Amino acid sequence: MINSHRSGKTGLWQFCRFLPLTTIVVACLATPLAAQTHGFVQIDAPGAGTLQNQGTTASVINQSGVVAGYYNDDQYAYHGFVRSAQGVITEFDAPGLTNTQIFGINSSGEVAGYGLHDANNHGVYPGFLRTAKGAFRGFRAPDALSTFSAGMNDSGEITGTYYTLAGVYRGFVASSEGSTFTYTLFAEPDASKQEGYGTFSTAINAQGVVVGYYEDATVGAFHGYTRDRAGSFTSFDAPGAGTGQAYGTIPVAINGSGEIVGYYSDSNAVLHGFFRDTQGNFTQIDPPGSTQTFASSINDQGEIVGYWADSHQIYHGFLRQPSGNIKSFSVPVKNNGTVVLSINNTGQMTGFYYDTVAAAHGFLWQAPSPEIP
């Protein structure tokens, strides 16, 4: 079962996508698995807090090695940051917003995210685009109470999920034209129209294909989908995915050729990673020793990264090569868990790890090479 809540303030899609990031139990120190120092760089935003549930999350990376993400300060407020390929960190808050979070980046260095507009205004979250030069442009899907950016492509198309005034979730693609945005709004045809349910978008590739999931109108189970630029939907379920309420399939990333990764909950509430190829064939991803697995990113070479929980609920990263070989690892420093969130076409990975007091530290790391045992 995927432990979800329904709240217009946070967005169900975000909670499902990053579920384990908010539920990690610090049980003991992790022993590094195939730990390698090659290319490992710790990323700490200067304003990041150092206590439990504070710190830095490096959520995305582009093909040039520019990293973006967010950090939690010593007052538990979120702020965005961008780290250049040369290592310069720029912190920011989108104008007029607080609790800024970043979930998309493209090759131009543009980033997309969202923030809280007014804590006294029922938790309204608008989306925003930040250019590589630091200019901001806010946006909100029509009829949206909140707009949650989830990903973007090199054409500057931003996808995500918005929460309507009627209390239903729908997907969107926002395209920038000069100083304005145009919107494509959509709902998967079989998605529930009940308040608190709906369609969720998680990623978009260079061809404008959107991937995401929806809750059906029958029992509220999750199903994956793709939507092409022409508006055609293809629904899919990972083999073995549960069919009850809050069970099912959650795709989170798509590469340029249309290969998809994500995770699913089986009928025993165990989470497994999955890979779906361009022909619709599925491969289950479960590194040895895993009790829960999340595949989080795939590059154009078909390299997949993610993270898995061991029997102590400590998280470890993994790299799955196109050959099917899976390599598990943890950061090469004392830690309480490693979470890998993104990989680019040169094999650079980003994510975060928890230190001994459960503060988060971002990282940039070259993926382990095939010859490393």
pLDDT in tens, 246-279: 999 999 999 999 999 999 999 999 999 999 999 9
What is the reported pLDDT for 214?
Answer: 98
Query: Positive or negative CA dihedral for 244, 203, 61, 372?
Result: positive
C-alpha distances out from residue 328 to 229, 285, 322, Å? 36, 12, 15
What is the reported pLDDT for 148?
Answer: 97
Copy the structure tokens of residue 55: 């710190």
What is the reported pLDDT for 68?
Answer: 98
Position 64 in a domain: yes
Query: Positive or negative CA dihedral for 110, 338, 300, 279?
Result: negative
DSSP string, 303-353: -EEEEEE-TTS-EEEEEE-TTS-EEEE--SSSBS-EEEEEE-TT-EEEEEE
What is the reported pLDDT for 17?
Answer: 39
Position 1 in a domain: no
Please choose, from the candidates 20, 5, 19, the residue with its C-alpha nearest in 3D space to the C-alpha of residue 169: 5
Q: Is 95 exposed, middle or buried (0-12, 13-18, 19+ CB in 10 A)?
A: exposed
Q: Is 177 exposed, middle or buried (0-12, 13-18, 19+ CB in 10 A)?
A: exposed
> Residues 231, 238: contact at Cβ < 8 Å?
no
Position 4 in a domain: no
DSSP 369: P
Three-point CA angle 241, 193, 262, nearest 5°: 30
Position 2 in a domain: no
Position 42 in a domain: yes
Position 373 in a domain: no
Position 372 in a domain: no
What is the reported pLDDT for 4?
Answer: 41
Position 230 in a domain: yes
**List of the chain residues with pLDDT < 50:** 4-36, 371-373
Q: How many residues does the chain have?
A: 373
DSSP 20: G
**How many domains is the chain built from?**
1
Q: CATH number, domain at 102?
A: 2.130.10.10
Helix (H) or strand (E) holding 251: strand 248-254
What is the reported pLDDT for 33?
Answer: 42
What is the reported pLDDT for 368?
Answer: 66
What is the reported pLDDT for 278?
Answer: 97
The residue range of the domain holding 188 is 12-366
Q: Which residues have CB under 8 Å from 247's CB, separation 6+?
A: 1, 2, 221, 222, 241, 265, 266, 267, 269
What is the reported pLDDT for 34?
Answer: 39
> Residues 356, 75: contact at Cβ < 8 Å?
no
What is the reported pLDDT for 18?
Answer: 36
